[in-house]
Amino acid sequence: GQNIDQPTEMTATEGAIVQINCTYQTSGFNGLFWYQQHAGEAPTFLSYNVLDGLEEKGRFSSFLSRSKGYSYLLLKELQMKDSASYLCAVRRYGGATNKLIFGTGTLLAVQP
């Protein structure tokens, strides 16, 4: 089976840095995605990792360690608009599908 774990909620201060962790157990790993979802809105793509290491994109960075089944999303210079749910999702090899297996999401509250 597959298991994806991430914290349910986090709180951080405007201007600070926050790291959201995601651990997964799956066979046939074929990439890890992070999405941002504001309440009542569509999830929007943030980052994709398939090889070990850090991918940086502006204020957001994502890290992957395949041997440890571990990823994190790093948000720098937090802004109030970063308050949202952050969804970790894993894609597997196998069959004809590219379906994503999602964690429950981490609700981040950014405070002044």
Residues that bind another protein (CB under 8 A): 4, 31, 33, 35, 40-45, 48, 50, 87, 89, 91, 95-105
Distance of closest approach, residue 76 Cβ to another protein, in angstroms: 23
- DSSP for 65-109 reads ETTTTEEEEEE-S--GGG-EEEEEEEEE-STT---EEE---EEEE
Closest CA to 34 of 26, 42, 46: 46
Task: State the minimum distance, in angstroms, from the CB of residue 13 to another protein.
Answer: 25
> Which lies closer to another protein via its Cβ, residue 73 or residue 87?
87
- C-beta of 78 vs 108, nearer to another protein: 108
Rounded Cα distance between 37 and 8, Å, is: 14
Question: 95 or 112: whose CB is closer to another protein?
Answer: 95
Q: Tell me how far, at minimum, the Cβ of 14 lies from another protein, in Å.
A: 26
Structure tokens at 12: 């951080």
Residue type at 108 in one-letter notation: L
Q: How far is the CB of 42 from another protein (least distance, A)?
A: 4
